[in-house]
A and B are shown apart, each in its own frame.
Chain A
Amino acid sequence: MNNLLPLIVGFPFLVAGIFPFLSKAEDASTHKGLHRIALGASVVLLLLTGLLAISPEAQTATFNLSWLPALGINFSLGTDGISTTLAVLTSLLMVLATGASFSTIEKRLPFYYSLLFVLIGSVLGVFLSRDLFLFFLFFELELIPMYLLISTWGGPRREYAAMKFVLYTLFGSVFLLASIIGLAYFSQSYHLPRETLFSFTQLGALAQSGYIPPVFQLLLFVGFFIAFAVKLPIVPLHTWLPDAHVEAPTPISMLLAGILLKMGAYGLLRFGFDWFPVAAQALAPYIGVLAFINIVYTGSIALVQTDMKKLIAYSSVSHMGFILLALVAMNQVGTMAAVFIMVSHGLVSAALFLGVGTLYRQTHSRDIALHGGVAQKAPFIFYTFLLMSLASLGLPLLISFAGETLALYGAFISQSFRAIPLGFVSLPINIQWITGLSTLGIVLGAAYSLWLVKRIFFGAVSDACQKIEDAKSNEVWVLGTLAVLVIVLGFKPQLLTSQFQSSTQAIGKRFEQVLIQRDQALLQQLQGYSPQNGVSQNLPMGGQ
């Protein structure tokens, strides 16, 4: 079983290495063959990750290979519930993106698939690595294929968008690397074993132990936070995302929204919050405000977009705000909600991008105003797009409902902050207030989603949409698969949560522990000043 992990990470790179040697002829039959080979390879990849997910070791599998022992770098892979879930999501979306490529990518296919498989390999590496150096390597490795994918097959402003994407991410990586090296410094100064300098277990234990001086905990946390805030993205570091999504070809938009953003969420959860809970709770008020801004501000921006893809891109940023809110809650429910939204948004946004992509392929325009009455011409696109829009706005019994409700519930019962300190004053705004205000995001979500559906699909058939046809067969099965998943997991979210429940509970418990300790310390401080001992009855204890 242990050999499955290196196989999952290595297989995409192997496939990527084969593609450049395949036929470069630009005719229909060669293209069909290449598409099929890619589809076959990604199905194999999905089977491999599926095998991992259903194996008894889905939560515990590890693989360790000594790589550069003198530097404390190991080729170390491992899983827990979260990693396995995200790995399955990645390979599933890869299959669907390959399916979507059938009708959208029409030139330089060997090169395209080579880059796509390198991209997927490095994303899988990010989710499965258990060595911080390896994690960083994969995190950076994903950049160049993504750059080339956007800038070769993208829309009119593709080169600008691709460069912006790379530079923003690399800017984030600066702080990521600084934090990694800083953490290694403390590991070294406490004389921890040098052979495993970068292993997650060792660094995680060190970070959580509290031996690192509080100031540096804060700095290291901020370093990780900035890096993943670019990736997630969090306002004001989000401006690369609308450009990249809009200019990328449809399959790449699906992957960008579906899994690349999740790298940011995953990193925030695993390194930011889980490793530095004390720093995280100290900064929780501000992060909470950022989450609120993310949800409402970008939701409002989405409302006024005239470009379909841009609208969905901004809605993605808004949904990522819910992940951030769920993380700030710092409890078991919130942690579970964060992972759940990662998956639900992955499926829904991929479907939305594909839905828009099918229209763009035919009308060559992303302008909402040029579309109208598509429902009459293309009923299948209409029904699936409507379903996904409803899922996106959080309709009960569809997948997002469970995630966003959990997130809001988790944040509402959270004790993570009771006021927002601003220098000498502190605003009496607690997380419950933030949560309450953030529900506005759901309303906004309903507004922009439904309005988009109305403008594109209803009314008279516009000139641009006269010749529109329904989805092609490949788009039908891709959208169909997504629709089935959205409905099934909406009815029975336990199918999904059972995969990662134990992992998120473990993390959530650590968070709650930190909050309880904080409150107890506060209580002791107050008791020191108070002549009576009965005060404790009236103070909130936190953590129930």
Chain B
Amino acid sequence: MMLEAISNSLIQTDVGQFIYNQNLAFLAPELVISLTLLMTFALSLAKTQVDQAKSWGIALLGSVVALISIVMHYQLFYTGQASASQSVMFGMFEADLLSVVARFILTLGFILILHLSKRFVETRLPSQTGEFYTLLLTAFLGALLLCGANDMIMAFVALETLGISSYILTGYLRNNLKSTEASLKYLVYGGCSSAVLLFGLALIYGLAGGSTSFSVLPQALSQASDLGAWASLAIVMILAGIGFKVSAAPFHTWTPDVYEGSPTPITAFLSVISKLAAFVFAIRLLTPFAGVGNENVALLIGLLAVLSMIVGNVAALKQTNIKRLLGYSTIAQAGYMLVGLAALTQNSLGALLFYLATYIFMNTGAFASAMIGDELLASEQISAYSGLIKAKPWCVFAFSIFLLGLAGIPITAGFFAKFFLFQSVVLSDLGNLGVIIIALLASTVSLYYYLNIIKVMVIGEPSEQVQRLIGEGKDSTWNLSKTLTLATVICLIFTLGLGIFGQSGLLISEFAMSDHGATVTQNLR
């Protein structure tokens, strides 16, 4: 009652009227995050580190409020309200179920990343805490907007918001050469890929008859009978841009260096948040092409997928640095996901979204474990992990589960997600079985390097660092960052549970795709 009264009186104001008319309430998560980042920005001007440290709490609070607002929005769909799916800001942002589900996963992932960052920032960047979280929130804001962007301009702005903040964040360890290198590399590659993407979008803009909106694309594309070379060129350019963002081969070359050089929480952010947002963007942009010239689009995406799986998995075999290895592993993971994207049917896209959801927990978990390893062993080399099970059996257990999840071994969520993804792709067309066999063979290769880490930790003789740990006893466990441990436990629970109890998750993902790829489903026999 109170709330209603307040909201009624708020609507009476000018600002309230504007919000109401433009459906801005559906942008609540983004507005909350914007507000939060303004606050952390203000805090970054504070002189004392104690004040700066508060920005973590504010960022967390903001993301939790954003999460709640997303859940409330989802409630509208759940109760079946007609007005639940809305265009916001003159159709530039589509607050449909896909955006809601994607933003939900994204926010969960972001909260985990905040937990990963806390100790890291406190120790490594004590005087820049405020800035760090401001930039992180900005990047996150870009990712959120990208999930619902239904307009080329909106999408590009969101992409750049995400991108530019990330370029800065990767170079945050200024005294570290590798970090600086990562930042520069990412900036140059990113700038070029943005330009290429923009060129592609401009071509589409012309083909679609001068409209920037994605929603007119299906109609425009089906009317233009002679798409021909221009459309192909546009698609190639767009795929190149997306390929860069999701680090698909052959646009992956930045990934290992950037992943290795960046502060680890940022590496996790790039591999999880950036990737998810880019995939949602790809789904929204590419589904209109599902009807026309589908074969070409599917073929190109399939090509990217196969290349990524091969390059990522083969290159990962020889890595000795854990972050670099995870970098190559995410290239391979992008390959599996692209297989789901290539099919462009409702089921396969739903399975893709589910895969992304499980991937967020598995991969964040893997990076969290790498950070725990860094805290305990002060090394990123895999050889330092040798014999870790003697000192920290539960850390080894958690890390092993994440790695097995990424490899797709039961009973982790990775197994289920991979199975659903590949199954949905084949069920849409039996001809896809060939790609699936390649994907499965690639994941056979991947088990080699994932198992190798587990082998080192479980079987190897304790390394120097581990022997020191054994000497320290329980103290080193209690000294671990609490938030980091919490994030690891959450990731572990989801990695184990999301598969076994994951049915509703998959159904929601498929439901979220009901407006996307549906045309292809109808075309099936």
Contacts and interface: CB of A to CB of B under 8 A. Distances in A.
A429 interface: no
Contact of B410 (A68, A141, A152, A188): A141
A179 to B, nearest CB: 10
Nearest to A178: B437
Interface residues of A, number: 34
Contact of A174 (B411, B426, B444): B444
B281 interface: no
A71 B509 CA distance: 13
Contact of A171 (B409, B411, B441, B503): B441
B444 A170 contact: yes
Contacts of A133: 419
Nearest to B351: A71
Contact of B422 (A20, A68, A181): A181
A206 interface: no
Interface in A143-186: 143-144, 147-148, 151-152, 159, 163, 166-167, 170-171, 173-175, 177-178, 181-182, 184-185
A185 B427 contact: yes
Interface string B436-468: 110011001001100100110011000000000
A140 interface: yes
B441 A182 contact: no
Nearest to B504: A70
Given A171-B444, A185-B426, A140 B503 contact: no
A175 B436 CA distance: 10
Contacts of B420: 71
Given A70-B503, A133-B419, A137-B411, A178 B444 contact: no
B393 interface: yes
B154 interface: no
Contacts of A141: 409-411
A70 B511 CA distance: 12
B455 A167 contact: no
Interface residues of B, number: 31
B506 A71 contact: yes
Contact of B426 (A144, A175, A182): A182
Nearest to B434: A178
Nearest to A75: B500
Given A174-B440, A184-B423, A147 B410 contact: no
A152 B458 contact: yes
Interface in B454-484: 454-455, 458-459
Contacts of B426: 181-182, 184-185
B436 A178 contact: yes
A540 interface: no
Interface in A127-144: 133, 136-138, 140-141, 143-144
A174 B437 contact: yes
A69 interface: yes
Interface string B369-402: 0000000000000000000000001000000000
A188 B427 contact: yes
Interface string A385-416: 00000000000000000000000000000000
A9 to B, nearest CB: 13
A144 B411 contact: no
B415 interface: yes
A20 B396 CA distance: 13
A182 B502 CA distance: 23
A412 B451 CA distance: 46
B410 A140 contact: yes
Nearest to A151: B459
Given A178-B433, A182-B430, A166 B447 contact: yes
A143 B433 contact: no
Interface in B474-521: 502-503, 506-507
B506 A143 contact: no
Given A140-B409, A178-B440, A182-B426, A68 B503 contact: yes
Nearest to A159: B455
Kindly name the residue among B410, B426, B454 whose own CB sees the greatest number of chain A CB atoms within 10 A. B410
Nearest to B525: A189
Given A163-B451, A171-B441, A140 B507 contact: no
A495 to B, nearest CB: 36
A185 B430 contact: yes
Given A144-B409, A163-B451, A166-B447, A181 B506 contact: no
Contact of A70 (B409, B458, B507): B507
A185 B525 CA distance: 13
B363 to A, nearest CB: 20
Nearest to B408: A140
Contacts of A137: 410-411, 415
A310 B87 CA distance: 70
Contacts of A144: 404, 409, 451
A152 B503 CA distance: 36
Contacts of A178: 433, 436-437, 440
A174 B459 contact: no
Interface string A351-371: 000000000000000000000
A542 B448 CA distance: 49
Contacts of A166: 447, 451
A342 B42 CA distance: 74
Nearest to A152: B459
A219 to B, nearest CB: 9
Interface string A195-232: 00000000000000000000000000000000000000
Contacts of B419: 133, 136, 177
Contact of A167 (B423, B430, B448): B448
B339 to A, nearest CB: 13
B510 to A, nearest CB: 9
Contacts of A68: 502-503, 506
Contacts of A159: 455, 459
A140 B412 CA distance: 12
Nearest to B423: A181
Given A68-B503, A140-B415, A167 B410 contact: no
B261 to A, nearest CB: 31
B409 A177 contact: no
A214 B454 CA distance: 44
A147 B502 CA distance: 28
Contacts of A151: 455, 459
Nearest to B400: A144
A19 to B, nearest CB: 12
A174 B441 contact: yes
Interface in A57-72: 68-71
A126 to B, nearest CB: 12
Contacts of A188: 427
Contacts of A185: 426-427, 430
A157 to B, nearest CB: 13
Given A159-B455, A182-B426, 15 more contacts: A68-B502, A68-B506, A70-B503, A70-B506, A70-B507, A133-B419, A144-B409, A147-B451, A151-B459, A159-B459, A174-B441, A178-B436, A181-B433, A181-B436, A185-B427
30 contacts: A20-B393, A69-B503, A70-B507, A71-B420, A133-B419, A136-B419, A141-B409, A143-B409, A144-B404, A148-B454, A148-B458, A148-B459, A151-B455, A159-B459, A163-B448, A163-B455, A166-B451, A167-B444, A170-B444, A171-B441, A171-B444, A174-B437, A174-B440, A177-B419, A177-B440, A178-B440, A181-B422, A181-B423, A182-B426, A184-B423
Q: Which 5 A-B pairs rank lowest in CB-CB distance, beginning with the nearest?
A: A174-B440, A170-B444, A137-B410, A68-B503, A181-B426
Interface of A: 20, 68-71, 133, 136-138, 140-141, 143-144, 147-148, 151-152, 159, 163, 166-167, 170-171, 173-175, 177-178, 181-182, 184-185, 188-189
